[in-house]
Structure 1
């Protein structure tokens, strides 16, 4: 196994491509618990027509098999990921970007920010030299490809599909040679060099002096109609049109965008102190959009009191990669990072404002975007939930997978809160494969339905309830392993749908495909719960927005000794969220009590 960051990529196994028959059968199995008998029959008919001899599924799948075998293609998902992430047309702010709230620090804003910048620069220099050790799972290396999206990476809005401006690409070979970051303060934007002319990093004192100078230079808040960051909150095609207008208006605007897009990363200095942890989380997810550039891959955010976190643009970066990055940033002191990077005193770094030339129409556009996003944020309900007396160790004492325990608690709480069991998504990492990212796991199984029903059956005794829990937990673990091994149906069938949209005429598949209008496809993907975990001692909370009008987004940090959750849903259905939280709190303790009374004979 190579110790170079990207040294194992070509030796990693390819993501398995399931057969059409395998994905069809799994899809029916996964959808069935959500369907009535009539809905299942209609879905089975649609699947049969799709997968049958000479059916459209056969032609679409064969095209995918041929694509997977094409020279230069690393995975059958190579086109899927850009289509999935860059093809979405709604706003990415709050809807797609995610955040981590870092563990607390005694440092004030300037010192904390300077330390984070120094640590990130150190990581960047090590990455350039491929000195970041490859991540390993069960003694097998994981793909590190996503690390190429950490620095100088920016999503560019497009009318039909977005693109990404990124190093390590044909357009921009090798690591980024940029020496600056972009700093936002009170809606004002500044260029700040973090590497000197010879490529050596500035010291912590130099960086702190630069940040102090920026706070002074940006002391007057930008007018709401001049804070161009608001535009990055718009739906993607609308933002693309605004960006085109912005660059056409004045040549200086293209230069300003270039400085932002090539910056190694963003640093957002906030002039507020969050009143509590939940406000800190909310601010990290969808705070002052005039002081953000949501298209930037990495935005470090530091509040007035030194509270800090990170906001991530999701198209090229998943949670596991960011966790490794954050763990490295916070795992050593700023002084250690600075020394390791070879920082030398160079005086005050180069600082200059990044400014846009605006007319009345652009100002009105910016103002409207800021107001619309503020309203969108206000229409989102969020809350946090923390258990300091339950964690992974307790679940293991009870002889159950920690993730299975909390996922079953979610199901029980949701049924009690909303009166139904709905489609539930869980993200499963697949980085053991070449360019592997995640697989879509669907949590609801027949065993889950029986477990939920049994727990609320007054005639069921404790042994029966425990047996129902154990069966559901075992099924959960088995399905997670299936997903980890690349044997899941949803993304495969979704890519076949996308192939028809891209190449249907060429392949002779132009007819409507009933599968994708079937009750099974619609219900399986209509999330009531959207869940993802991020275990790290260096973060307090992890969070993202909900994915549909009735969905509760659940981002959870499950550690050996604690369990923290950030939950979100549209405000119109906020009562359901708050009831769910109450039922979840009860369920976690109820299930512990149930399993704690178990004896070996049970």
Structure 2
């Protein structure tokens, strides 16, 4: 059921682009904003841990609007606009011809077929399976290509930042979240445009009685916009299983056990009872203390390295594992509610923390789990999540609830003695039977992992001159200026205008995933080139270029937020052409299409009150991945690279680019 959503658009623009206005309780978009709520005290009892919602968790789900399929003409026009700054005049004419031929011919046929299929799949979106299969079909190791790391803030009470204490408290809070979701008492993910009017119990009592088929249109009348929550069921009991050609997802909602990794060893214990309730927190505490006190050394052949291997290689070795009598042990790993990784590591610095949460030490992560909760020896906590099943918006909301509950309604206290229980009977250490083929496979995976680590670099930096407040004051989008600075930095270093990629959530639609914002445009190219030779332009001219870039970036965000980008649409058409026709039309064979999809700059804007920082892997081997957080008076960047490019040089070029933008916005000349 489609309906107008002008309020949603206004809300996203306020958050994404730095426009003035009171922030809502929830939001989405490029930056996955999520503003904290004043709870007025404790979140709930020790039993539930989370305040039961007046509105059932999935009350809105069935009546969410469906993700629209863009008009073919619009997608082709947007595609050509994205291509223009990357191509010479001759290259562009060739690409334009291919695109127009596609639009008039096979593209129209494929688009009609896609529309027909979508009309007969009202329960989902046209991109849901396409995007999932696209992820699962990638053959590179997720650990160094797709998985995302997100770091929690420390517990505000320092004495609780102890590995055992914090691991227990966070594990209990995760189980409270799981129980609340399964009992439909978790508060729905909802955007309130005017929270002072609708983020109230009065509105909730009203909306819960609206019949499900009509609840989203009625909520929209009050400027309330629910988000898709279908990804939440994959949070728990889920693993990505390696298969030849394309992986699959396994989710076991009946699983009752927790997987704990320590020093490359695997431990499990039942954390849910037969009736689905959680065991006593004192038992969890005792079981984790028992695991931490185990003196077992790292195995000679640490099995977890296999999840860092290329997917087809891992798929073959998994079959060997099963054939060698490891079915039951492997099933316990893959169906565990989640993976808790207890590292015997002390943080050296913030960049070391980024390395730990992104790729760890190889032997103490099961990178195929939906998420790994990582706890270092000093109690620093992070999430590493596998990306095929879900997106950052789902994980950030989950992290917010877990952090808040684990620091406001703590299950155990520092120095508290665990229960007098025989944890050795509850905890089971898993053993795997390894033949020579498996041993050789593990050692080869370890060597490949070590080689990947050697090429990887990460650096967290902060730009402290100005931030969101100044950019808003100057009437430009903070996100637009940051994206422009990325392109200016790359151009200044390497003399190239390159493809860039910024994801935008489409969770406002049923089974929405993400759309792509393509920040590189003819406007950013013109502006970047002008800033290379600022003496040839007046300050007013440069400032006007900045505003033009901002205006165009706003347009791109509007389109992506409405599901009106072109990347997902063309991807769906390309897959249809391949499966139905067995061959691809010229538009997809065109080198320009490959060039556009080779995104040297991949960036992700994150904000969450409970998030310390995040980090992503580059999506191409020779590119950069940048996660950034925009504060009122500063901007924090976490930049990763696996390429020959010098990371420190890029950082310096980025800082210089931002400084130039700030100088011009202040009406001053750039000093060469």
Give the Å deviation of 1:333. 3.6
Q: Please tell me whether the aligned partners of residues 320 and 534 of structure 1 are also in contact (alpha carbons under 8 angstroms).
A: no
Correspondence 1:99 to 2:149: yes
Counterpart-to-counterpart distance in 2, 1:511 and 1:110? 56
The 10-residue stretch of structure 1 (65-74 or 231-240) with the greater mean CA deviation from structure 2:
65-74
2:385 to 300, 312, 316: 312
1:280 to 353, 360, 382: 353
Give the Å deviation of 1:451. 1.4
Q: State the partner residue of 2:18.
A: none
Classify the secondary structure of the residue corresponding to 1:229: helix
Correspondence 1:491 to 2:563: no
Counterpart-to-counterpart distance in 2, 1:312 and 1:558? 23
Classify the secondary structure of the residue corresponding to 1:292: coil
Q: State the partner residue of 1:451.
A: 527
Q: TM-score, normalised by structure 2?
A: 0.82
Deviation sequence 1:126-158 (CA, Å, 0-9, x none): 011122222223321111111111111111111
Q: State the partner residue of 2:339.
A: 266
Q: Please tell me whether the aligned partners of residues 141 and 432 of structure 1 are also in contact (alpha carbons under 8 angstroms).
A: yes
Q: State the partner residue of 1:257.
A: 330
Q: State the partner residue of 1:154.
A: 239
Counterpart-to-counterpart distance in 1, 2:290 and 2:464? 41
| RMSD, matched Cα | 2.1
2:90 to 16, 38, 45: 38
Correspondence 1:290 to 2:363: yes
2:65 to 3, 13, 16: 13
Q: State the partner residue of 2:250.
A: 165
The 10-residue stretch of structure 1 (303-312 or 66-75) with the greater mean CA deviation from structure 2:
66-75
1:382 to 458, 478, 493: 458
Count of residues in Structure 1 that have an aligned counterpart in Structure 2: 573
Q: Please tell me whether the aligned partners of residues 203 and 338 of structure 1 are also in contact (alpha carbons under 8 angstroms).
A: no
Which runs of structure 1 show a deviation greater than 6 angstroms over 4 or more consecutive aligned residues?
none
> How is 1:261-410 mapped onto 2 (pairs within 5 angstroms)?
261-334=334-407, 336=409, 338=411, 347=421, 350-388=426-464, 390-410=466-486
Give unpaired runs (5+ residues) of structure 1.
168-175, 505-509
Distance 1:477 1:135, change over 3 A: same
Q: TM-score, normalised by structure 1?
A: 0.91
Q: Please tell me whether the aligned partners of residues 153 and 261 of structure 1 are also in contact (alpha carbons under 8 angstroms).
A: yes
Counterpart-to-counterpart distance in 1, 2:427 and 2:465? 48
2:173 to 113, 119, 133: 119
Classify the secondary structure of the residue corresponding to 2:139: coil
Q: Please tell me whether the aligned partners of residues 265 and 299 of structure 2 are also in contact (alpha carbons under 8 angstroms).
A: no
Classify the secondary structure of the residue corresponding to 1:238: helix
Q: Please tell me whether the aligned partners of residues 42 and 519 of structure 1 are also in contact (alpha carbons under 8 angstroms).
A: no
Q: Please tell me whether the aligned partners of residues 196 and 346 of structure 1 are also in contact (alpha carbons under 8 angstroms).
A: no
Q: State the partner residue of 1:542.
A: 614
1:528 to 597, 600, 610: 600
Q: State the partner residue of 2:7.
A: none
Give the Å deviation of 1:203. 4.5
Distance 1:511 1:200, change over 3 A: closer
Q: State the partner residue of 2:284.
A: 207
Deviation sequence 1:508-547 (CA, Å, 0-9, x none): xx44421112243122111120111111122222111112
Classify the secondary structure of the residue corresponding to 1:332: helix
Counterpart-to-counterpart distance in 2, 1:233 and 1:406? 32
Correspondence 1:189 to 2:266: yes
Deviation sequence 1:472-504 (CA, Å, 0-9, x none): 011101111111111111111111111122222
